[in-house]
Structure 1
Amino acid sequence: MQLKTRITGAMTALALSLAVPAAAQEATAQVDLAQIAPAALRQDLLKGVYGAVEIPGRNQLWVASSPSFEQGTPGFVDILDATDLRPLRRIELPRRAFALALDAARGRAYVGNTLDGSLTVLDAASGLVLDTIQLGKPDGEGFEHTRMVRVDPGSGQVFVTSPSDTGTLWIVDPDRQGAVQRIDDAGLWSAGLALDAARGRVYATGGGISEVLVVDAATGAGIGSFSTGDTKEAGGEASAHFFVNAALDTEGKRLFAADANQGALYVFDTETGAVIATAPTGLGTLDVIYSDKRDQIFVTYRGVSREAPSGSGGIVVLDASDYARIADIPLPAHPNSLVLAESGDALFVTVKAPMEKEHPLYREGGGDSVLRFDLDKLATLLPRQ
């Protein structure tokens, strides 16, 4: 393995030459929503939705929400029926809720309290709050932020990223009363997180010169880093990329990284760290998930930027064998998080309503959405390439 090898400019140029041509990608028209309606269900009862997680043994989808950013306001976990999205129960939390992860073996759910820099630990059966684990240090009037949360299904270790200018990765050990290991200098804006439990590897993704940090899951030791080679100087202003979220194809040894800066998907070889493909995905690219059952990649894009604040986003579906675009599904206004059902037969998406009153789709008091796609039905309705 050559995990410690950084990608040279020549290797990057070669890798980018393997990417699907942008013109071919952009030629794929957006799907008419009426065309795929038989494969979709939508629930609009919630406000401030963010992450979600499936509880497969209970046929439930848990959705984290924070209706207000004001300090001291509560967060919520709304429990929906995973088949028809009926609301089943609401759990109020003492801190604002953004990310979600499940430890099925131990019956625990972890809620990332992003703005409070902590984790809320819930009993996955009763919904009772078991603990609050403070991770972030005080930072001004608040705390260092947490972001993505992942759980090793075997060890129960919990991994949490912090997208700061230096980057932090926390590892929480539930078998030692929630003991926390802190790894600093995890990389500029270390926001994204992917876990290969079988190989004992954690991938923290962000920006900077080396955009991906590889960590030994058992010890927390750094193993190496991946770099596109596109950023030559340190600091956020010089960063060509921001890999805000990541997903893995463990069998194919590929890391899929959603690049918010470039509006593209980057594919890394996890053996060598080389960029093996890129594919344009859309303005404000955000989340990515891989279906090994279908060999497809799903990517959300918000459709907006600071320079273009009035757009609307969707989901891009890519063929993971050649990175060709299968479809672009518009989902007004801002698709956010993706969850793939354990069966591989359903895809859940949280979609945020615009918060800015100037946005053409803004509605006073409007709610956010949760969508469920039946992927078998969707496959029959999408255009054939």
Structure 2
Amino acid sequence: MKPFRTSLTAVALVLVQPLSLAGGAWAQELMTPAEYAGAALRQDAIHGAYELLDAPELGLVFVASAPSFEPGASGAVYALDRDDLSIKRRIQLPRRAFALAMDHDSGRLYVGNTLDGAVTVIDAQSGVITGQAQLGQKHGEGFEHSRMVAVDPKTHQIYVTSPTEKGALWIMDPQTGALGKRVDNSGLWSAGLAIDSDKGRVYVGGGGIEEIGVFDAASGEQVARFSTGDTTSAGKDDSKHFFVNLALDAKGGRLFAADASSEQVYVFDTASGKVTGKVETGPGTLDVAYNPARDEIYVTTRGVSREDTKGTGKLMVIDGKDLTVRRALSLPVHPNSLEVSQDGKLLFVTVKVPHDEAHPDFYKDQVDSVVRFDLSRLD
């Protein structure tokens, strides 16, 4: 899902200045859209675009849509042709769509209805809604929010995070599509989610003293917690980090965590739980994805903060071997969610338009975008 706006309820012109890695050992100017145009295809077509998902077996890319934040607003999932990004289908939903996950074997598409604490199940081939699971409990006038959704490709179980103050991890039954198990106290602002199917582990990112929770994928039992060591008090106002999104290098035993608080990506060793590296990424750090085929890490930043709401964001391409930045691309205005194709050759990104009328790039009736990058042409 990765909606920066909604996830921060739990916490909180091309740029030309150089970017630097930790220690100041590296600096590089941002590539302008004109400089990377040969590698990119952009489609401006979707109101309220959030997470996307590549389904090469269908020749489609699905995009979650939440056009309005008004109570009771509906949503949609768009199916785009993965070759030219033309709209092939619009699937209307009674609830807003933010997060996406897919069981490619069964053809089921799982849509996270974040603000309603629910998941809608769609047959990806036909676009027919086949079920809906209400996971979040009643909370005031609404429900506990859901956030990320992920499917274990081997067991087909579905996992959903909830970014409450204590945090929750929901495990859905793949046969019934209903809630099978609720794991409470998964960690402050449980948001980021990654699954190691081979090792039977689920990683949940958030804040607090121990920012990463590690859970047994079958039982939901907590088996470990990772900590940066930076937060020493359990109070939510004292949390130094918020790991809003996670990405896993299963073979290399590395977990990448995008930190919305410190504007960095942290690298954890999954065996020891220790921090082994950090990359400075910039204001509005949001999503992170790993591409094992190219040993690259991708990061989106919104380019804005609470203090500065008028910036524009970027896409970073980071070398997985030494954590140096290979490319930094200006991607106006606010890059949001990432999806790496299964063969590692393509990268899909959603890009949000500014909602603040004072933003220099704001104009009426703008729509959000999907950008497809041919990664070989960025080399």
**TM-score normalised to structure 1 length:** 0.92
CA deviation profile, 1:28-73 (whole Å, cap 9, x unmatched): 1111221110100000011100011111101100000011111222
Paired residue for 2:192?
192
- CA drift of 1:176 comes to 4.6
Paired residue for 1:214?
214
Aligned CA RMSD, in angstroms, stands at 1.2
Cα separation, 2, equivalents of 1:235 and 1:201 = 27
Paired residue for 1:294?
294
The correspondence of residues 37-116 of structure 1 with structure 2, limited to 5 A, is 37-116=37-116
Cα separation, 2, equivalents of 1:59 and 1:205 = 32
Cα separation, 2, equivalents of 1:349 and 1:168 = 28
Gaps of 5+ in 2: 1-19
Paired residue for 2:16?
none
SS in 2 for 1:58: coil
Cα separation, 1, equivalents of 2:248 and 2:177 = 30
SS in 2 for 1:175: coil
Judged with a 3 Å threshold, the aligned counterparts in structure 2 of structure 1 residues 33 and 176 are, in CA distance, closer, same or farther, namely closer
Cα separation, 2, equivalents of 1:189 and 1:24 = 33
* 2:150/2:193 contact within 8 Å kept: yes
Paired residue for 1:23?
24
Cα separation, 2, equivalents of 1:173 and 1:352 = 33
Cα separation, 2, equivalents of 1:61 and 1:176 = 26
Count of equivalent residues: 360
* 1:20/1:322 contact within 8 Å kept: no
Paired residue for 2:341?
341
Give the AA of the match of 1:221. E
- The alignment status of 1:180 with 2:180, answered yes or no, reads yes
* 1:22/1:279 contact within 8 Å kept: no
Paired residue for 2:314?
314
Cα separation, 2, equivalents of 1:179 and 1:51 = 22
Cα separation, 1, equivalents of 2:152 and 2:364 = 41
Give the AA of the match of 1:95. R
Cα separation, 1, equivalents of 2:54 and 2:318 = 23
CA deviation profile, 1:191-215 (whole Å, cap 9, x unmatched): 1000111111000001100000000
Paired residue for 1:33?
33
- CA drift of 1:230 comes to 0.3
* 2:122/2:130 contact within 8 Å kept: yes
* 1:188/1:235 contact within 8 Å kept: no
* 1:66/1:75 contact within 8 Å kept: yes
* Range moving further from structure 2, 54-63 or 167-176: 167-176
The correspondence of residues 158-307 of structure 1 with structure 2, limited to 5 A, is 158-176=158-176, 178-307=178-307
CA deviation profile, 1:300-333 (whole Å, cap 9, x unmatched): 0001111111111111111110001112111111
Give the AA of the match of 2:217. A
Cα separation, 2, equivalents of 1:142 and 1:314 = 34
Judged with a 3 Å threshold, the aligned counterparts in structure 2 of structure 1 residues 340 and 126 are, in CA distance, closer, same or farther, namely same
Cα separation, 2, equivalents of 1:180 and 1:71 = 28
* 1:22/1:280 contact within 8 Å kept: no
Give the AA of the match of 1:123. D
Cα separation, 1, equivalents of 2:313 and 2:267 = 22
- CA drift of 1:177 comes to 5.2
Gaps of 5+ in 1: 1-18, 380-385
**TM-score normalised to structure 2 length:** 0.93
Cα separation, 2, equivalents of 1:32 and 1:108 = 38
